[in-house]
């Protein structure tokens, strides 16, 4: 090999590596370079922070990560999947935590009909917090089955149950993102501290007050204690 040929070959390898690295620009997590975040078979870097795969595969991808992430030490914090599978952009959002990590793993996906591709984004996010809204155990909690102020309420006076409700509200995660519409609506008045409740029995619960917004999983205990749903 001549010196010129060597230079051309070396230059080709260098530019190939540069091009390869450019595909990962904008990504806070590259699954191929981790030991505990497997990459769904068929996903390829799609430019920017996303991976792409031809066709509608977001449901398979969600099921895959619900299986493999716990096997790699991750615990689910939040999952929301589209109920309308036919809408453009249907997909899921999810967050996961792992002991020893000072960040959360977010995996979001959506299927876009125009280009017949499923887009997946892996991201690092700050650990979720749970701000304490209720400082003392409530003496009385008033449950309204509608958020209208004038709607009649049901009073709960059992101190043990009221303490449990307050603990559940306090432990719900602070929510900074846009709320997903849930059909169930009610209001909890905790010693004159008003909390609007938006819920889906299978997907989750939003708590909204003058202190912000929180989200929790659809805890059966919360529904049983508050009786905000006729299902309980």
Q: What is the CA radius of gyration of the chain?
A: 24
Helices (H), the chain: 3-22, 58-71, 159-171, 220-226
In terms of domains, do 31 and 118 share one?
yes
- Inside any domain, residue 108: yes
The pLDDT score that the predictor gives to residue 10 is 42
- Inside any domain, residue 150: yes
Assign 87 a pLDDT band (cuts: 50, 70, 90).
Answer: confident
- Inside any domain, residue 118: yes
Query: 66 is in which domain, residue-wise?
Result: 24-125
In terms of domains, do 121 and 163 share one?
no
Residue-wise pLDDT for 89-144, tens only, equals 899 999 999 999 899 999 999 999 999 999 999 999 888 889 999 999 898 999 98
The pLDDT score that the predictor gives to residue 109 is 95
Our count of domains for the chain comes to 2
Q: Across the chain, what does the average pLDDT equal?
A: 86
Beta-carbon contacts of residue 231 (< 8 Å; ≥ 6 apart) = 201, 223
- Inside any domain, residue 158: yes
As a whole number of angstroms, the distance between CA 174 and CA 45 comes to 32
- Inside any domain, residue 5: no
As a whole number of angstroms, the distance between CA 94 and CA 47 comes to 21
Name the pTM for this structure.
0.69
What strand order describes the sheet that includes 50-54? 44-45, 50-54, 117-125, 104-112, 91-97, 75-81
The fraction of the chain above a pLDDT of 70, given in percent, is 86
Residue 88: which CATH number?
A: 3.30.310
Q: Is 38 exposed, middle or buried (0-12, 13-18, 19+ CB in 10 A)?
A: middle
The pLDDT score that the predictor gives to residue 95 is 92
Query: 169 φ, ψ to 5°?
Result: -60, -45
In terms of domains, do 154 and 71 share one?
no
In terms of domains, do 52 and 112 share one?
yes
In terms of domains, do 88 and 171 share one?
no
Query: 117 φ, ψ to 5°?
Result: -135, 150
Residue-wise pLDDT for 20-70, tens only, equals 455 676 678 899 999 999 999 999 998 778 999 999 999 999 999 999 999
In terms of domains, do 222 and 153 share one?
yes
As a whole number of angstroms, the distance between CA 109 and CA 81 comes to 9
Query: Do 42 and 55 meet the contact criterion of CB atoms below 8 Å apart?
Result: no
DSSP string, 18-30: HHHHHTTTT-S--
3-class DSSP assignment, residue 205:
strand
């Amino acid at each position: 090999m001549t010196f010129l040929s060597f230079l051309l070959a070396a230059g080709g390898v260098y530019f190939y590596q540069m091009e390869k690295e450019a595909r990962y620009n904008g990504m806070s997590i590259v699954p191929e370079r981790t030991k505990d975040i497997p990459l769904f078979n068929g996903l390829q870097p799609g430019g920017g922070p996303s991976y792409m795969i031809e066709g509608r595969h977001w449901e398979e991808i969600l099921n895959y990560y619900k299986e493999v992430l716990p096997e790699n030490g991750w615990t689910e914090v939040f999952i929301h999947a589209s109920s309308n599978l036919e809408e453009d952009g249907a997909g899921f959002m999810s967050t996961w935590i792992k002991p020893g990590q000072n960040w959360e793993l977010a995996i979001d996906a959506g299927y876009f009909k125009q280009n017949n591709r499923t887009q997946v984004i892996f991201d690092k996010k700050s650990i979720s917090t749970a701000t304490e809204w209720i400082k003392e155990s409530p003496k009385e909690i008033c449950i309204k089955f509608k958020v209208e102020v004038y709607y009649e309420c049901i009073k709960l006076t059992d101190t043990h149950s009221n303490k449990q409700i307050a603990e559940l509200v306090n432990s719900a995660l602070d929510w900074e993102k846009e709320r997903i519409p849930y059909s169930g609506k009610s209001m909890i008045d905790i010693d004159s501290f008003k909390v609007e409740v938006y819920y889906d029995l299978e997907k989750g619960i939003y708590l909204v007050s003058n202190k912000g917004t929180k989200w929790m999983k659809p805890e059966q205990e919360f529904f049983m204690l508050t009786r905000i749903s006729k299902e309980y």
